[in-house]
Amino acid sequence: MKLLIKNGIVVDPANKTEEKLDVFVANGKIFKIGRNISDRDAMIIDAKNCIVAPGFIDMHTHFREPGFEYKETIESGSRAAAKGGFTTVACMPNTSPAIDSQALVEFINLKSKQVGLIDVHAIGTITKGREGKELSPIGELVKAGAVAISDDGSSVMNAEILRRALEYAKMFNIPVIEHCEDPDLAGEGVMNEGYYSTLLGLKGIPKAAEEVIVARDILLARETGGRLHIAHVSTEGSIELIKWAKKQGLNVTAEAAPHHFSLDESTLKDYDTNFKMNPPLRTKEDVKAIRKALKDNVIEVIATDHAPHAEVDKRVEFNTAAYGIVGLETAFPLICEYLIRTGVLSLSQAIAKITVNPAQVLNLKKGSLAVDQNADIVVANVDKEVKITREFFASRSTNSPFIGKTLHGSVEYVIKKGKIIYQNAQA
Ligand SMILES: [Zn+2]
């Protein structure tokens, strides 16, 4: 099949392109990018008023399979990803069982191939069973196709084990992704510690719970020369530490989740459990600092932390509700609404954070629109309104604090290896 995408602004940060060009796709690959391309047999996509970007890459998602299929499966997650413009995701290993062996990485690979919608890469655990006690067989995980290791959901509290993990991961040139949280400091906290937690009478999580681990991990990255990636940065203090690490030339990268640059703790009203996530929503100053860090490239990746939970997990008291929100479908609208349309990031800066930058962190040869590459492409309208309703979600879960909101930023077409895998009904 041949596809010709016409009249759109091609935004391809990897090749420093941001101009009106046509994109011609043949045999699943990008065949040609240029002006006024025509072809009699090609199917035409009119990308007027739209950007044409590389398929988005989410390096932090939870598809819940195996073990929690009632929340999400690789199939439903893939559909949610496609709807959000993501043609590649990396799945966190905190499933049941946790992804700590070659066989389990192969299970993820097999399942995602059977679904066949997008590329789903596995992230293996740092420690067996995510118990923090014994290193996983990192070489085996990488051999099976794991693109990173992480005990996401918790930090590796034994510094010696994390040191060894950084050393092993370095041999395989993969990043160690740390969820930075000291469990003793976080205690039974359910939201940011401060004025609003006092007001609501809820237990707070101090910022230091994140920052002490960020600091420790950066020092271990310095000690080992290993590659450290800090997941879902939520505080200004963490950003200061990451800035310091970069100044020292350490191999440290970082990501922020859309909810952490779009919402602060004051939005947490009425004990709505869809505002409960980990790390929690922080202060206005933290939100401002995250936006600035995205602009200054102290944080180079935007990752969704897509964390689907069923009604039974969320329709309970705030203290007992599960942490996390779905994020794949709302990521692009939130980036448009809070980063692009506000002028915090240019189009190219924003798109880089969901394409070439995560590709670089995970060593994937993806995230650009180069000729001869697989045609993974998103056609999206930055200014078009989208109403976020329950029905908007393709995910099996709808735990989103954005339901009821109207945002700007609509994904119109998603193309994977030259095939249209999602098309907005109102395109
Ligand atoms: Zn996490």
How are beta strands 86-91 and 119-122 bridged, if at all?
parallel
pLDDT at 270 over 90: no
The pLDDT > 70 percentage for the chain reads: 100
How many other β-carbons are positioned within 10 Å of the β-carbon of residue 227?
A: 22
Q: Is the dihedral of CA 180, 185, 191, 192 positive or negative?
A: negative
Give residue-wise pLDDT tens across range 137-167. Answer: 999 999 999 999 999 999 999 999 999 999 9
pLDDT band at 108 (very low <50, low <70, confident <90, very high): very high
Give residue-wise pLDDT tens across range 360-378. Answer: 999 999 999 999 999 999 9
Q: Which two three-digit tokens encode residue 64?
A: 């819940």
Q: What is the distance in A from the centroid of ligand 1 to the CA of 262?
A: 18
Q: What is the distance in A from the centroid of ligand 1 to the CA of 278?
A: 7
pLDDT band at 427 (very low <50, low <70, confident <90, very high): low
Give residue-wise pLDDT tens across range 172-226. Answer: 999 999 999 999 999 999 999 999 999 999 999 999 999 999 999 999 999 999 9
Q: What is the distance in A from the centroid of ligand 1 to the CA of 12?
A: 29
Q: Which amino acid is at 205?
A: I
Q: What is the mean pLDDT of residues 35-60?
A: 97
Q: What is the distance in A from the centroid of ligand 1 to the CA of 153?
A: 4
The active-site residue, picked from 305, 313, 376, 383, is 305
Q: Which two three-digit tokens encode residue 237?
A: 């203090």
Give residue-wise pLDDT tens across range 293-330. Answer: 999 999 999 999 999 999 999 999 999 999 999 999 99
pLDDT at 426 over 90: no
Q: What is the distance in A from the centroid of ligand 1 to the CA of 54?
A: 26
Q: What is the distance in A from the centroid of ligand 1 to the CA of 296?
A: 23
Q: What is the distance in A from the centroid of ligand 1 to the CA of 349?
A: 24
Which phi and psi angles does 336 have, rounded to 5°? -65, -50
Burial class (CB in 10 A: 0-12, 13-18, 19+), 32: middle
Catalytic residue at 305? yes
Q: What is the distance in A from the centroid of ligand 1 to the CA of 418?
A: 33
Q: How far apart are CA 155 and CA 176, in angstroms?
A: 11
SS (H, E, C) the chain: CEEEEEEEEEEEHHHCEEEEEEEEEECCEEEEEECCCCCCCCEEEECCCCEEEECEEEEEECCCCCCCCCCCCHHHHHHHHHHHCEEEEEECCCCCCCCCCHHHHHHHHHHHHHHCCCEEEECECCEHHHCCCCECCHHHHHHHCCCCEECCCCCCCCHHHHHHHHHHHHHCCCCEEECCCCHHHHCCCCEECCHHHHHHCCCEECCHHHHHHHHHHHHHHHHHCCCEEECCCCCHHHHHHHHHHHHCCCCEEEEECHHHHHCCHHHCCCCCHHHCCCCCCCCHHHHHHHHHHHHCCCCCEECCCECCCCHHHHCCCCCCCCCCCCCCCCHHHHHHHHHHCCCCCCHHHHHHCCCHHHHHHCCCCCCCCCCCCECCEEEEEEEEEEECCHHHCCCCCCCCCCCCCEEEEEEEEEEECCEEEEECCCC
Q: What is the distance in A from the centroid of ligand 1 to the CA of 123?
A: 13
Q: What is the mean pLDDT of the chain?
A: 97
Q: What is the distance in A from the centroid of ligand 1 to the CA of 30?
A: 35
Q: What is the distance in A from the centroid of ligand 1 to the CA of 373?
A: 32
Q: What is the distance in A from the centroid of ligand 1 to the CA of 60?
A: 8
pLDDT band at 1 (very low <50, low <70, confident <90, very high): confident
pLDDT at 269 over 90: no
Q: What is the distance in A from the centroid of ligand 1 to the CA of 11?
A: 30
